[in-house]
Amino acid sequence: MKILWLDLNSSYAHSSLALPALHAQIMDDTTIEWDIVSTTINENTGMVVNQIYHRQPDIIAATNWLFSHEQLLHIISRAKALLPECCVILGGPEFLGNNESFLRKNKFVSGVFRGEGEKVFPQWLKVWNNPTESWQQITGLCYLDEAEHYCDNGIARVLEFDRLVPPEKSKFFNWSKPFVQLETTRGCFNTCAFCVSGGEKPVRTLSIKAIRERLKRIHSQGIKNVRILDRTFNYNNKRAKELLDLFCEYSPDICFHLEIHPALLSEELKEELTILPKGLLHLEAGIQSLREPVLEQSKRMGKLADALDGLEFLCSLDNMETHADLIAGLPLYHLKEIFEDVRTLAEYGAGEIQLESLKLLPGTDMRRRAAELGIQYSPLPPYEVLQTREINVEELQTAHHLSRLLDGFYNAPTWRVLTQNLIVENPRFLHDLLQHLVETDVIDNPLSLEKRGLILYDFCKHHYPAYLTQVSIAWIEAGMSLKKMPAEKVRTKRVTPPATWKVIYGTYRENLRLCFLPIIGDDFGYWFGFDSEIQKMEPVFKALSIK
């Protein structure tokens, strides 16, 4: 029997754990021949189908999720047409809801799994070619029988999660990506109505000992970034502290990315976070909205006041970066409140502000209650909300544009401090810049870092001239051309150091190439030094004239 796994990802950087997780459980079975075709959703469909066809598999298996859904169906429908005897089996989060309509519409798919597959997939492989008599015994499997009756075998759960063979032991585990994922927990104590893990119980965890062994293997491969798959890392503060102590053993070699609930930070955990080595953690703080009624309607646990206090604390830490997310389209959430919440997060100093549109995912409580909640959403992936009682079509488009603005300016390290200052100090700034970007028809265009700087400088020149010096400083420190508009006031010829200056960073040497940015008159301003002997465009020295 030959299985071909179609490893379809949204980008090169991403790599699914599904194949190595399943293969690890049965990798000693010599009766199974495994093959793989790895690709992204941006590759040519015909080329991928051609690769599958020439492998002549008995089974094509793949994981389906919202961003690969469309391309996956294009590929496997063509592969099935070329290989009519081949069995197509799918799994993944796209099948956590009712799967009857999918199977009736896509009859080239033999069956789909709902839930966790490590235990049930090996069982299915033993009876894969005997659907009439044996498929009804496979938990989590959904399919149409010979009479085209829909058969639904519920949901599969791996209760003994800690007994699974780790995916890192599979030959298909991909060590070449920029990061690897380490699943330390399954299930979630929280009940968020928009999340596929909302209310998924029991919560199952790996022991600290098991995680340590897996990290040893990951570290031995030279991996620099590990994404911890745990819906709420600090749901148990004692365990969270033990994990942080473990992570410290790998500083500074590994940076750990994890999700944290700001409302559930104990004082002891706060103390631990304060003393961690710089760069050890990259935090994603689940906040979604800063409005109590919105969070209550979304069934998110934790008091808003505690969440705000926790988020402010996390953002104040200078030894790690904390990103915060908001979700437009949540019931009871108005556009005006989204703008206000963005300002609040900027005031806190969030490392990034990620504003996403709500997606009503299969199997979630919010999708089941969409009509009751007054939510209209796309019936096709990625199932984005189109309108609610509180936010209309045009306002959701404005929220999308605001997300683009944040990604382009606030979330870009070069422009973050400047953008943060403009947001915090000027209540109208977000609205004004957004209007400018829309009117000049650049809001949805990919913009280089330089182009964004040119836009900011021109915009501030006409609307916020007090910030022009800040734009110029950010431009210079990013190593951009001193011949372009944001550096129009910079002097580079016949500049000599003043008698006294206050050094901000670096060490002055006579062989540095100096430039001067005046801010008051011709003598008071900023000095930047560039090292011509190294291939670095950014200044290595900065000082301020002293009057």
Q: Are residues 58 and 139 in the same domain?
A: yes
Residue 226 lies inside a defined structural domain of this protein: yes
Q: Are residues 195 and 65 in the same domain?
A: no
Q: Are residues 258 and 331 in the same domain?
A: yes
Q: For position 192, which CATH number holds?
A: 3.20.20.70
- Sheet with 111-113: list strands edge to edge: 33-40, 2-9, 59-63, 87-91, 111-113, 141-144, 150-152
Q: For position 86, which CATH number holds?
A: 3.40.50.280
Residue 170 lies inside a defined structural domain of this protein: no
Q: Are residues 137 and 12 in the same domain?
A: yes
**From residue 283, how far is each of 140, 214, 260, 357, 409 by CA, in Å?**
34, 21, 7, 21, 20
Q: Are residues 462 and 498 in the same domain?
A: no
Residue 138 lies inside a defined structural domain of this protein: yes
Residue 525 lies inside a defined structural domain of this protein: yes
Half-sphere exposure (Cβ direction) of 484: Cα atoms closer than 13 Å: 16
Mean pLDDT for back-to-back runs of 10 residues, the chain (547 residues): 94 82 95 95 95 97 93 97 98 95 97 97 96 95 96 95 96 91 89 81 91 97 95 88 96 95 92 96 93 93 90 95 96 98 97 96 94 96 96 98 98 97 98 97 95 97 96 97 95 90 94 92 90 86 90
Q: Are residues 17 and 142 in the same domain?
A: yes
Residue 368 lies inside a defined structural domain of this protein: yes
pLDDT at 199: 64
Q: Are residues 325 and 448 in the same domain?
A: no
Torsion angles phi and psi, residue 370, rounded to 5: -55, -45
How many whole angstroms separate alpha carbon 83 and alpha carbon 415? Answer: 53
Token output for 472: 């110029």
pLDDT at 329: 97
> Going by C-beta distance under 8 Å and a sequence separation of 6 or more, which residues neighbour residue 88?
59, 60, 61, 76, 79, 80, 108, 109, 110
Q: Are residues 300 and 342 in the same domain?
A: yes
Last residue of a domain, one of 486, 517, 534: 486
CB of 476 within 8 A of CB of 510?
no
Q: Are residues 504 and 438 in the same domain?
A: no
CA angle in degrees (0–180, nearest 5) for 42-43-48: 140
* Predicted model pTM: 0.92
Q: Are residues 379 and 455 in the same domain?
A: no
> Going by C-beta distance under 8 Å and a sequence separation of 6 or more, which residues neighbour residue 329?
357, 358, 375, 384, 385, 388, 391, 396, 399
> Going by C-beta distance under 8 Å and a sequence separation of 6 or more, which residues neighbour residue 156?
113, 114, 115, 116, 117, 119, 120, 139, 140
Last residue of a domain, one of 366, 384, 402: 384
pLDDT at 494: 86
Residue 453 lies inside a defined structural domain of this protein: yes
Q: Are residues 438 and 494 in the same domain?
A: no
How many whole angstroms separate alpha carbon 285 and alpha carbon 310? Answer: 9
* Structure letter (DSSP) for residue 264: G
> Going by C-beta distance under 8 Å and a sequence separation of 6 or more, which residues neighbour residue 348?
311, 312, 315, 316, 324
Residue 433 lies inside a defined structural domain of this protein: yes
Domain count, the chain: 4
Domain region containing 464 = 412-486
Q: Residue ranges of the alpha helices (H) in 322-448?
A: 335-348, 365-368, 370-373, 393-405, 413-425, 429-439
Residue 406 lies inside a defined structural domain of this protein: no
Last residue of a domain, one of 102, 117, 152: 152
Q: Are residues 454 and 532 in the same domain?
A: no
Residues written for the chain: 547
DSSP SS3 for 327: strand
